[in-house]
Amino acid sequence: MGDDDLAHTAGLFRAMGHPIRLGVLDRLRREGEICACDFTEYFGVSQPTISGHLRTLREAGLVRTRRDGTQICYSLDPAALEVVRRMSALLVSTV
């Protein structure tokens, strides 16, 4: 794995490194696609807080967006999660 690949993978793990962001990913895993407004009540935080977390996940490439009228809906990006899965499997296989 090259330096660029490692830097990209580290960015994915860094983006997942907050309980709310990890919770967003888990909820998307279970429910598929969710509109941004549905996360505020679920996590009990403000809209700007959720927006910041969703931006971090989007910029890392972990989630995709789709506009539905005035709402923005989020879903997991399978390619990014495959990178995380492969790195996790490599790390676990050495134990």
pLDDT on residue 95 = 63
- Model pTM score: 0.90
Q: pLDDT tens-digit profile of 52-74?
A: 999 999 999 999 999 989 999 99
What is the chain's mean pLDDT, rounded? 92
| Residue 71: strand pairing partners | 68
Which class does domain 3-90 fall in?
mainly alpha
Domain ranges (residues) in the chain: 3-90
69 DSSP 8-state letter: T
pLDDT on residue 1 = 64
Q: pLDDT tens-digit profile of 4-18?
A: 889 999 999 999 999
Cβ burial 35-47 (10 Å sphere, 16+ → b, else e)? ebeebeeebeeee
